Amino acid sequence: MEIFSKDEAEKDAYTFYNKENCEEVIEYVLAKGKEAQKAEEIALTAWRSLECRDAGRIDLRENAIGELQFLEVNALPGLHPTHSDLPILCNKVGIEFHELIRRIVESAMNRYKENYTFFKEETARTEAL
């Protein structure tokens, strides 16, 4: 998702004011084509390299010559349903807020089940020795 500031937005930064008044001063546009593919590649590489889990947001920025640069990872992104970027992006691709929350919980629970099962099996094995 690309973030564009309208004329009415506070300048030079994606400020708290801009986020709170995003309906009036910000335009969110789904990225498409090769640029979107490149962004996805960079974002997923960063996410997986950092071993991040469940849900988050990677921020990228285009430099003066159009190259996408990694800015930061938000492993604990805002979850305000209308003012936070992750829910806004999800909504644009048809993932409603409650579905986003469901996926986060499911991801965490799948990880828990895998590791808890492993622990139980390991405990049983070592106790049997």
Partner 1 sequence: MTKNNERKIAVVYGDVLPDAPPDEKDVLIEVDNVCDALDKLGYETVRMPFSFNVLKVLKSLEELKPLCVFNLVESLLGKGSFIPFPLLVFDYLKTALYRIRQ
Binding residues for partner 1, rule: CB under 8 A, are 16, 20, 76, 78-81, 83-84, 97-98, 100-102, 104-105, 108-109, 111-112, 115-116, 118-119, 122
Nearer CB in complex with partner 1: 50/109: 109
Closest distance to partner 1 from the beta carbon of 90 (Å):
12
Closest distance to partner 1 from the beta carbon of 107 (Å):
11
Closest distance to partner 1 from the beta carbon of 104 (Å):
8
What are 16's two structure tokens?
């708290």
Nearer CB in complex with partner 1: 32/98: 98
Nearer CB in complex with partner 1: 38/80: 80
For 84-93, the CB contacts below 8 A with 24+ separation are 84/19, 85/1, 85/3, 85/28, 85/57, 86/55, 86/56, 86/57, 88/1, 88/22, 88/28, 89/1, 89/28, 89/30, 89/57, 92/1, 92/28, 92/30, 93/30
